Structure 1
């Protein structure tokens, strides 16, 4: 029995697919299949059920899985101890980001880390906040830049590095363009342009609307906040988005502060709480916390002039 066989077995189990496991391990799929079949022959029982669309554990596979994970963890721990005793920082770190990271200097952070630790391989991927949170908890990511609400996700430690208002933005000809502030209820029945479900800001919006007693009518879901702003500028609806996404389009958009309730979106550094973390991952987390210090809350800018009266009737009028 080889550690490589156990590693392949665990990867196929977690991915529920030989193809995805091979991509994750950066090896050819036939090699993964061959190694796991060799492991099954040695143990005398099939570990995986390959008959369906997804790969599932057999009864024997379920019994073997915790021991395979324990063996891999023990080997990783032994390597960490040796690295720490010798003062080496090497290995591999995985980082997840959300779209908002375009407004932060992530390339500068990673370039600085690579300069200090050239023996560490860095993997960077973009994903939804919900998926990254799961990956951080499972140890598949070492560090994540996640969007989140006021309460940190369970099982993670976080450091908020960006805190900004969630605002509404409309084209200048929209009835809401006469307002500088609106209650969330003013968006009831309006066609909204939002980030997709599973993102931190969308979760904040959906929860706030549910608390206000209505379901948002989302016409466009786009993962890039800047594209949301462009759609709103062309009169396709009301964009509800982080304030920073409206800044490049100030001449084309009217930005409105949402009150009752005020909403803010946060970007936070996130890493698994309490789990074993290698020296390379710890070095990256320490550098990120130093280079991207905790942010103070940021409110939406208030207009110097009093808000205009709401239009009479229509779905754009503010109620309460």
Structure 2
């Protein structure tokens, strides 16, 4: 009796269909059928009733199912226990990051994790922060680097990377630079170039405007901060950026601090239940940041 035979048996029992079970375990239908036939010969009883349209359990199969699941769970627990001791965790880790992320320490952490744990399949997906948060909550992503306003989501574990103000960035000679201590009201008197909805900077800006009953004219938006800065540098509007991002464009833009009382946060988030692979990844991120 082999573990793979038990795995195929459980798959057929749960799917009630040999074809779907074969797709689930990633082998041919004939392979699943042959292995279950061999298991039945070893046990001396039929486990699956194949006479109907659905593959149903016989009385013997029903008696065997709970024990097959327990055996598979025990084998998996044994593997995890050994992996924890040796540090050679296996599996897959799905990571998300906010669009146009250029944060070198995050890439350093990802590369260090891959070198340390080559047995883990790693995927990296871009998206806006709102979508990434939803993906983490429903489990399609294990973790994500996102931009949020004011505080990290209370239902998720998190590691805050940056907490900073937003700024208005304009080219030299812009009328805003002639205003003593310009405020959000002064900024909103001009066309705005901003990141799209679902980003932390945009959320902070929209919340700040709502708090002062202001309506901003966002005439242009781009998903990459570099594009926002470039459009503003060409005189197409006032760029709204995070303080750190704005420092990358001091050769073409002058940053004006906006004291709106709401911080823009960049944070790594994940669900509270941490797998060994995710735990290792978070450790690398803590070290890199």
Residue 270 of structure 1: aligned partner: 269
Residue 192 of structure 1: aligned partner: 192
Structure 1 position 163, deviation (Å): 2.1
Tell me whether 1:243 sits opposite 2:239 in the alignment: no
Structure 2 Cα separation of the partners of residues 246 and 270 of structure 1: 24
Residue 42 of structure 1: aligned partner: 54
Structure 1 Cα separation of the partners of residues 154 and 111 of structure 2: 30
Name which of 83, 96, 99 aligns with 2:79: 83
Structure 1 position 207, deviation (Å): 0.9
Structure 2 Cα separation of the partners of residues 191 and 264 of structure 1: 22
Structure 1 position 2, deviation (Å): 6.2
Give a deviation string over 1:249-290, Cα, whole Å, max 9, x none. Answer: 21321211112x2443111111112x3x32112211222123
Residue 284 of structure 1: aligned partner: 281
Tell me whether 1:133 sits opposite 2:127 in the alignment: no
Unpaired segments ≥5 residues, structure 1: 8-21, 32-40, 45-72, 293-320
Matches within 5 A, 1:111-150: 111-150=111-150
The SS at the match of 1:256 is strand
Structure 1 Cα separation of the partners of residues 262 and 282 of structure 2: 28
CA RMSD of aligned residues (A): 3.0
Matches within 5 A, 1:45-56: none
Give the conservation status (yes or no) of the 8 Å contact 1:146–1:267.
Answer: yes
Unpaired segments ≥5 residues, structure 2: 1-8, 16-22, 30-52, 57-68
Of stretches 213-222 and 97-106 in structure 1, the one that deviates more from structure 2 is 97-106
The SS at the match of 1:210 is helix
Give the conservation status (yes or no) of the 8 Å contact 2:151–2:265.
Answer: no
Structure 1 position 245, deviation (Å): 2.5
Give the conservation status (yes or no) of the 8 Å contact 1:80–1:279.
Answer: no
* Cα gap change, 1:255 to 1:6, in 2 (>3 Å): farther
Structure 2 Cα separation of the partners of residues 284 and 106 of structure 1: 10
* Cα gap change, 1:6 to 1:175, in 2 (>3 Å): farther
Structure 1 Cα separation of the partners of residues 232 and 283 of structure 2: 39
Normalization by structure 1: what TM-score?
0.65
Structure 1 Cα separation of the partners of residues 177 and 95 of structure 2: 40
Structure 1 position 181, deviation (Å): 3.4
